[in-house]
Structure 1
Amino acid sequence: MRLSSLEITQAVQAVRHSVQDQVVPSGYSIDSRTLQPGECFIAIRGKNFDGHQFIPEVLSKGASLVIAHSNDGLDAAWPVIFVEDTLIALQRLATHVRKKWGKKVVGITGSTGKTTTKEITSFFLGARFQVFKSMGNFNNDYGLPLSILRLQEQEEVAVLELGMSAAGEISRLSKIAQPDMGVVTNVNPVHLEFFQSIQGIARAKRELIENLPSNGVAILNNDDPRVRRFGNFFSGQVLTYGVRTAAGYRVSAIRFKGLNGSEFRLDYKGSGYLFGLPLIGIHNVYNCLPAIVVAHRLGLGFEVIDQRIKQLKPSAGRGEVLHFAGFSVINDSYNSNPVALETMIQFLKRVPGHKRKILVGGEMRELGPRSPEFHRSCGNLAAKVKLDFILGVGGQACHLVEAARARGYDGNHALFFENATTAGEWLSDHVRAGDLILVKGSRGVKTELVIEALRQDHSLTKTS
């Protein structure tokens, strides 16, 4: 949204400034490397960097305006708005833009599935509305405000992802985004490095619902007992969805179609509706359900929603199916956690028509002191369902491999690799026609390098 420097000065509660009132930045950036001419540069001071060091650089690149909280080494003639804290200024500016824009906001959080749910929700709503969605997984104290600053006046609905790594963060983000509808996908053991218990994670996720307006709508996964209880903390309308338990929007039957997705029946107010979902796994049925609820609540009919569902495609590294000459790979390398990995192991086992099943499981991070236990649990499951090869990649994934070996796997079938590059080299040498391979791991492990090794040595024939 285009704002004048005068409006920006007022919104961020500037302590002083040296800029003309009529300057209108073309955008906003906190990264000197990606800043474009005409944008406003907000000099964030973080743990490992200080944006104030790059002010001369961004001005030489054509920045129209700078927001800073220190004038050390700055020329008095430079176009600078001074504030007490630049992060707070970024958040105040985003809050101002959201209020000025003034339309419907859907906020989405959860331990898993929130980014995919955001993408699906945005796609469904695009059938009727001009939709804004937060960029990638820009869902924290920096990313969410930067996303909101990209809002345009003509857009009618915003779908925003809210993440967290500490208590209070979602509450803070909710006050910036001011959602009218709040979706909570689930509460699972992720970010345990920052929380003492899963109950603490649940309380932090609940902050989204607690910050909804009284005339807002909470959309809750009724299959998750912790999320189900969030409705007790909200006086407005609560809409529920589920597969295993009674819910306002309930899936009563699912027919899995392997790598081609699934079909499911959704029951709503005594009627049943059939949907064909091209995304793989029951977890994507769960990702799809809150998007259906949001779209239906905002006036889209089930027939229109079904048309949109049929057009869904996976995002990069989030359940992509790659068909090579003779074998197939499920590229789920974008991220991982214990619940998501166990779900994909079960899915891998169920897919028919393949001679061998191979797991490449990268380390799952931010699990705290229980990390070895979670990795062993996944290794036990992989061995229990009798996958043919179990490969662990990096750090704590050694416990995944140890668990498989404790259940009888030898060193030729349960292997640990220090990094994804060596795992990819081994796999590329040992893959055979008829194999189905699952690749999954936390971002920092870079398990996508396993797939790059396969691409280098084998012909990719199709992506779905």
Structure 2
Amino acid sequence: MQHIAESTGGRFLSHGPIVEIDHISIDSRVNEYGAYDLFIAFRGQNHNGHDFIPELIKKGVKNFIVEEDVEAVENINIIKVTTSVKALQTLATVKRKRFISPVIGITGSNGKTIIKEWLYDILSTRFSVLKSPKSYNSQIGVPLSVWPIGPEFNMGIFEAGISQPGEMEKLASIISPTIGIFTNIGTAHEEFFDSQNQKVSEKLKLFKDSEALVFCMDHELIARQINESFIGEKIGWSFNGKGVYNVELKEGHHLAIRKGTEQYTFSVNLKDKASLENIVHCIITSLVLGVKTQDIQEGIDRIQPIKMRLELKKGINRSYLIDDTYNNDVAGLHKALDFMDQQKHVSNKTIILSDFIQNKHSKTFYTELNQLLLQKNVNRLIGIGPQLSQHKQVFDLPATFYTNTESFLQSDEIHQFQNELVLIKGARQFALEKVSKLLAEKGHKTVLEVNLDAITHNLNFYRSLLKPDTKIMVVVKALAYGSGSEEVSKMLEFHKVDYLAVAYADEGVALRKNGVTLPIMVMNASDDDPFNLMRFNLEPEIFSLEQLKSFTEAYALADRELQAHLILNTGMNRLGFNPEDLDQLIDYITSNKSIKVKSVFTHLAASEELEHSDFTKDQVDKFRSGAQKIEDALAYKPIRHILNSGGIVRHNSFQEDMVRLGIGLHGIEVSHLKDGDLQNTAYLKTVISQIRYVKSGETIGYGRSGVAKKDMKIATIAIGYADGYLRVFGNGNAFVVIQGQKAKTVGNICMDMSMVDVTGLNANVGDEVVVFGENPSVSQLADWAGTIPYEILTNVSNRVKRVFYTE
């Protein structure tokens, strides 16, 4: 720790044991730390890592870097630095300077992560490779990626991304690549650069000390600047015959690559131009590193579509699955285990783990792996592969081992999972996706994919519009607008929202049974609910004096205080106390000391619409008058809240004490003033079940409403109105997207299936079909159906499997 203080320019606020740091974390959610772990506290927009230090010390953390004054603690190393980001970058730079083996640095606008992953597949046949986990390419992601580098590796692959000038110099000193790959240049973050020339120039700074640089000569702007300014070996390649390496795509998916008199041929199962360009970058870099052509082809054969994410989904027998089957490396395992540890609703945790493909034969490695699994509270290990089987004696937790995936699939153990959280983590050649498919709860091919990172982004966007002391209640009724209330609520709890709201008591009960501890308001509690409300600590919305009396009497029988939320009717005319009801309401509350008014609120009828602004302001005035009258009669001040998602944007000055965030969390900005600031959170996807050819004059579907006016190619897709795909979308009133191509509906939508026109399109049985996502969007479907986005989202039925993922 003394060396860390010296290298970062920090000073000790308190001293603990002198240790060498093995692992760095910036995530307070990691459940267990060892004596050799370091926590670096960051000040974020919505989280301050310094706030978690007392809790982390209780967990066993003994080493901290901070940028705020914190209380010194005996036997704890706390080092204060100027900025935590700079300290993290400095530590990674020091580690990188000790590493003498080749390091590949990748930058560009698109393809960085894919090229990194594919290169890893190819180079792992020969090298022990450390790579960036997922898309860790930022000012924080890069040093976290580089930090684990050490003598157990003889190759590093790291990607770097920037969003504005001046950022790449810091990443260049951390990565210090010996070989570079410049992928391409696009329009991302264009607003922060004067020109495309400046953007290329800034990205090229990553390679200022590199020995060689691989790039595509067909990107003329990139090629020109590299030829003018890069002083190392320029390894340009081209599809058009103007590179050091020249590439030709031949029939049968073969790439012929020529360099002078040398020629190489590789078989690739890739079609689109971007993927072909990415794989050529990988092949040429591998050739430069001296990898044999047969080893390159072996790596190419392992390549599959890359899912750069961790997926959480329901499994058989009340289990949950974390699907991370695209590769297996130590850094990625740490990330997956941390994500697993955050799922507090399931205590029994199992990991299905394949061999590490980089020939990890040492007993020391597997001993450390055993300690990691114990540290992360894993209850059971299922090891797949000869290496794990060979070292089974070092594992202290209950474990079984199989030499390959097929033997595990044929075992009795595959059918015995229940009430547990199962992390499936494996290298691609072990095909653990077969295990994931077998253990998934439903076989229905239609899924709703929910992006937890996008939900977090949207939450933070709305937070940015609020005053620091304004509370947030998030409405998670109707399965959190179709997304999945339990999973979304647990994420919101981590992000420290103040309240949740549900429509009915049973929704709140389900959240409590799944470990959600946030305060929960029930918006439509009935006279039958008091027992469950008390048992599960739920707080009812009260909308009438009769209801209030009934609940007060029920709570009195149990000698419990009624914590109530009073709704005032100010013009919505749905539920709530009218102004003339307030005197009786106040008399009853003040005469019953067992009633605690937690909040007073109202519903705005048209907050998102400009033409109703005067009506909204009138509602606000009525609400404030009524709320003040109630407060004047009480000896305390309840929380006031009035704004919904649309109101937060259009009527921001009426924040009161709390706001209620609903549809906006899911990327729908109903006022349309801030559409570009939100991210899409949900993708409804299905597959092509069958393709048939229909002759001109034949009909398609029920009622014969679909008529082929010419010979047509028809795809039947596995979604219908029972899944939430409305009948109105039939007969060409909507389109889906297959391999980036639009396909309009044909004929009536059936209960479980729909037909789309794929005439002239590249479409095959089993292809993924996007029903909504970025294009078409939920809002587009709502327009086609003459409805609102709420209905589209909440119509997605329960038989559609929800998959939650984080990048």
**Bin for the TM-score computed over the shorter chain:** 0.5 to 0.7
Which position in structure 1 is the counterpart of 2:125? 127
Contact map agreement 2:33 2:59 (CA 8 A) in 1: yes
Over residues 372-423 of structure 1, what are the superposed CA-to-partner deviations in whole Å (9 max), with x where a residue is unaligned?
Answer: xxxxxxxxxxxxxx9999xxxxxxxxxxxxxxxxxxxx9714599xxxxxxx
> How far apart are the structure 1 equivalents of 2:200 and 2:755?
44
1:304 aligns with 2:302: no
Give yes or no for contact 1:25–1:64 (8 Å, CA) kept in 2. Answer: no
Aligned length: 363
Structure 2 partner of 1:238: 234
Partner of 1:75: 73
Mark the structure with the bigger radius of gyration.
2
Match of residue 283 from structure 2? 292
Q: Quick one: structure 1 residues 415 and 295, their matched pair in 2 at CA, closer, same or farther if it must change by over 3 Å?
A: closer
Distance 1:317 1:175 in 2: 26
Task: Measure the CA separation in 1 of the matches of 2:307 and 2:183.
Answer: 21
How far the C-alpha of 1:222 sits from its partner, in A, is 0.9
Give 1:130 deviation, angstroms. Answer: 0.6
Residue 89 of structure 1: CA displacement?
0.5
Secondary structure at 1:106's aligned position in 2?
strand
Match of 2:164 in 1: 166
The answer to whether the 8 A contact 1:316-1:334 is kept is no
Question: Aligned partners of 1:429, 1:245: CA distance in 2, in Å?
Answer: 51
Whole-Å Cα distance in 2 between the matches of residues 77 and 225 of structure 1?
59
* SS class of match (2:157): strand
SS in 2 for 1:250: strand
1:334 shift after superposition: 12
Q: Which amino acid aligns with 2:290?
A: G
Aligned-partner SS, 1:238: strand
- Structure 2 Cα separation of the partners of residues 17 and 279 of structure 1: 56
For the Cα contact (< 8 Å) 2:16–2:74, is it kept in 1? no
Cα-to-partner distance string for 1:226-248 (whole Å, 9 max, x where unaligned): 11122321111110122234212
Residue in 1 aligned with 2:82?
84
In 1, the alpha carbon distance for the partners of 2:163 and 2:713 equals 34
CA distance in 2, matches of 1:56, 1:325: 46
Q: Is the 8 A contact 1:132 1:155 kept in 2?
A: yes
Letter in 2 for 1:106: I
1:264 aligns with 2:255: yes
Q: Determine the structure 2 residue equivalent to 1:183.
A: 181
Give the CA deviation at 1:133: 0.4
CA shift, 1:285, in A, is 1.3
After TM superposition, give the deviation of residue 11 of structure 1 in Å. 2.3
Amino acid at match of 1:16: F
Q: Write the distance in 1 (CA, Å) between the matches of 2:304 and 2:736.
A: 32
Match for residue 208 of structure 1 among 206, 209, 212: 206
Match of 1:32 among 28, 31, 34: 28
Hey, what does 1:313 align to over in structure 2? 304
For 1:205 and 1:73, the matched residues in 2 are separated by: 41
Residue 412 (1) aligns with residue 733 (2): yes
Task: Could you tell me which runs of 5 or more consecutive residues in structure 1 were left unpaired when the two chains were aligned.
Answer: 336-361, 364-370, 372-385, 390-409, 417-425, 459-464
Read off the aligned partner of 2:79 and give its amino acid letter: I
Is the CA contact 2:215–2:236 (under 8 Å) kept in the aligned structure 1? yes
Alpha-carbon separation, structure 2, partners of 1:135 and 1:413: 38
Question: Superposed, which structure 2 residues align to 1:238-387 within 5 Å?
Answer: 238-255=234-251, 262-316=253-307
Matches within 5 A, 1:443-458: 456-457=799-800
The verdict on how the C-alpha distance between 1:196 and 1:63 changes in structure 2, with shifts beyond 3 A counting, is: same
Query: For residues 98 and 198 of structure 1, what CA distance do their matches in structure 2 show?
Result: 31
Structure 1 residue matching 2:98: 3-state secondary structure: helix
Please state if 1:198 is matched with 2:521. no
CA contact (8 A) 1:277 1:312 kept: no
Amino acid at match of 1:175: S
C-alpha displacement of 1:155: 0.1
Q: Distance in 1 between matches of 2:300 and 2:112?
A: 17
Q: SS where residue 266 of structure 2 aligns?
A: strand
Contact 1:218 1:231 in 2 (8 A): no
Structure 1 position 224, deviation (Å): 0.6
Q: Which amino acid in the other structure matches residue 158 of structure 2?
A: L
Which residue in 2 is equivalent to 1:218?
213
- Tell me how far apart the structure 2 counterparts of residues 326 and 70 of structure 1 sit (CA, whole Å): 51
Q: Give 1:268 deviation, angstroms.
A: 2.1
Deviation at 1:152, TM superposition (A): 3.0
Residue number in structure 1 paired with 2:6: 10
Task: Establish whether residue 151 from structure 1 lines up as the match of residue 474 from structure 2.
Answer: no
- Taking structure 2 as the reference length, what is the TM-score of the superposition? 0.40
CA distance in 2: counterparts of 1:96 and 1:431, whole angstroms: 58
- Determine if contact 1:67/1:82 at 8 Å carries over to the other structure: yes
Tell me how far apart the structure 2 counterparts of residues 428 and 68 of structure 1 sit (CA, whole Å).
58
Q: Partner residue of 1:432?
A: 755
C-alpha spacing 1:388/1:202, structure 2 compared with 1 (3 Å): farther
- 1:341-394 C-alpha deviation (Å, 9 max, x unpaired): xxxxxxxxxxxxxxxxxxxxx99xxxxxxx9xxxxxxxxxxxxxx9999xxxxx
8 Å CA contact retained: 1:223, 1:245: no
Shift of 1:77: 5.0
Partner residue of 1:421? none
1:383 maps to none
Cα distance change, pair 207–308 in 1 and its aligned pair in 2 (3 A):
same
Evaluate the alpha carbon distance shift between residue 77 and residue 272 of structure 1 in structure 2; reply closer, same or farther with a 3 A threshold.
Answer: closer
Q: Which moved more, 1:186-195 or 1:427-436?
A: 427-436
Pairwise CA RMSD of aligned residues? 4.2
Given that 2:17 and 2:75 are in contact with CA atoms closer than 8 Å, whether structure 1 keeps it comes out as no
1:15 Cα deviation after fit = 2.6
Instruction: Specify whether residues 97 and 287 from structure 1 end up closer, same or farther in structure 2 by C-alpha distance, changes over 3 A only.
Output: same
Q: Take 2:87 and 2:2, find their aligned partners in 1: how far apart are those partners?
A: 14
For the 8 Å contact 1:44–1:50, the answer to whether it is kept is: yes
Per the TM alignment, residue 179 of structure 1 is displaced from its structure 2 partner at its CA by 0.8
- Cα distance change, pair 54–415 in 1 and its aligned pair in 2 (3 A): same
Going from structure 1 to structure 2, the CA distance change for 1:294 and 1:427 (only over 3 Å counts) comes to farther
Task: Tell me how far apart the structure 1 counterparts of residues 82 and 750 of structure 2 sit (CA, whole Å).
Answer: 54
Gaps of 5+ in 2: 310-325, 327-432, 454-666, 669-675, 677-711, 716-730, 738-748, 779-791, 802-807
1:105 aligns with 2:96: no
Distance 1:114 1:132 in 2: 15
* CA distance in 2: counterparts of 1:223 and 1:72, whole angstroms: 55
The amino acid across from 1:223 in the alignment is: D
- Tell me, in whole angstroms, the C-alpha distance in 1 between the residues paired with 2:42 and 2:444: 50
Q: Which amino acid aligns with 2:291?
A: L
In 1: Cα distance, 2:750 partner to 2:122 partner: 38
> Is 1:228 the equivalent of 2:223?
yes
Residue 101 of structure 1: SS of its match in structure 2? coil
> Separation in 1 of the partners of 2:24 and 2:750?
44
- C-alpha distance in structure 1 between counterparts of 2:232 and 2:750, whole Å: 53
Aligned counterparts of 1:244 and 1:126: Cα–Cα separation in 2: 31
Structure 1 pair 309–85 and aligned structure 2 pair: CA distance change class (3 A): same
SS of structure 2 residue aligned to 1:310: helix
- Asked whether the equivalents of residues 327 and 434 of structure 1 are also in contact (C-alpha less than 8 Å), the reply is no
TM-score normalised by L of structure 1: 0.68
Deviation at 1:302, TM superposition (A): 2.1
Cα offset, 1:290, TM superposition: 1.5
